[in-house]
């Protein structure tokens, strides 16, 4: 049994995505060997994160305002196509799609299950009001069972809308997570969407 301080930190790290008890323990022992100034730097970076990072009220992606910007760079960018919105589960998926340089529309982060429903309602209301006028919704979800279920659920939700609903699943590896798909595969999936 580890000491209470070690145990406490292992518990905290174990809550991180994809981090199990073993990795969490490795982090803690790594930190024990890390010089104090590096620890201070880490603590400072974590504590300013919540202060500096804002969540975009339109697409729910996080961004760091340089001045007093209220919305993120994607939503504010006049050169992007405001008639198409790409729905992703999380921000790393947005990054993966953005890297392909194939997509120039808007994004929308669905987030975890608990918040997804509420966010989708907000999006539907906005599309109904034609703000902006969305013609196409791209469902860019993982081609895993969980992703497929979400896609089906979203398609049912969007039935009341007149816009075109397309799925990005084509060409993505079966049981693949979008964030791990290579750029070429993602580019092909974006081009071949139906
Ligand atoms: Zn935004």
Q: 183 C-alpha to center of ligand 1: Å? A: 23
Residue pLDDT, tens place only, 150-180 = 999 999 999 888 888 988 865 566 556 777 7
- Provide the 8-state DSSP code for 17: T
Q: 119 C-alpha to center of ligand 1: Å? A: 13
Which run of H or of E encompasses 135? none
Q: 101 C-alpha to center of ligand 1: Å? A: 18
Q: 89 C-alpha to center of ligand 1: Å? A: 14
Tell me which of 3.30.420.40, 3.40.50.300, 3.40.1360.10, 3.40.50.11260 is the CATH number of domain 77-191: 3.40.1360.10
Task: For residues 7 and 22, give the distance between their C-alpha atoms in angstroms, rounded to a whole number.
Answer: 12
Q: 53 C-alpha to center of ligand 1: Å? A: 13
- Spell out the domain ranges in the chain: 4-47, 77-191
Please tell us whether the domain made up of 4-47 is placed in CATH 1.10.8.420: yes
C-beta of residue 86 within 8 angstroms of C-beta of residue 105: yes
Using CB atoms within 10 A of its CB, is residue 156 exposed (0-12), middle (13-18) or buried (19+)? exposed
Q: The whole model's pTM is what?
A: 0.80
Q: 63 C-alpha to center of ligand 1: Å? A: 8
Residue pLDDT, tens place only, 92-119 = 999 999 998 889 999 999 998 889 999 9
């Amino acid at each position: 049994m580890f000491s209470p301080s070690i145990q406490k930190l292992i518990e905290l790290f174990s809550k991180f995505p994809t981090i199990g008890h073993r990795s969490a323990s490795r982090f803690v022992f790594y930190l024990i060997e890390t010089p104090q100034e590096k620890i201070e730097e880490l603590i400072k970076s974590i504590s300013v994160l919540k202060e500096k990072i804002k969540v975009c009220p339109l697409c729910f992606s996080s961004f760091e305002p340089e001045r007093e910007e209220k919305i993120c760079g994607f939503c504010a960018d006049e050169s992007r196509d405001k008639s198409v919105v790409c729905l992703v589960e999380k921000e790393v998926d947005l990054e993966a799609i953005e890297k392909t340089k194939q997509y120039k529309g808007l994004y929308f982060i669905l987030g975890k299950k608990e918040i997804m429903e509420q966010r989708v309602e907000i999006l539907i209301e906005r599309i109904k009001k034609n703000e902006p006028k969305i013609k196409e919704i791209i469902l860019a979800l993982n081609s895993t069972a969980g992703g497929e279920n979400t896609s089906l659920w979203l398609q049912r939700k969007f039935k009341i809308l007149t816009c075109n609903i397309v799925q990005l699943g084509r060409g993505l590896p079966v049981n693949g997570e979008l964030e791990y798909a290579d750029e070429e595969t993602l580019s092909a999936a974006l081009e071949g969407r139906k």
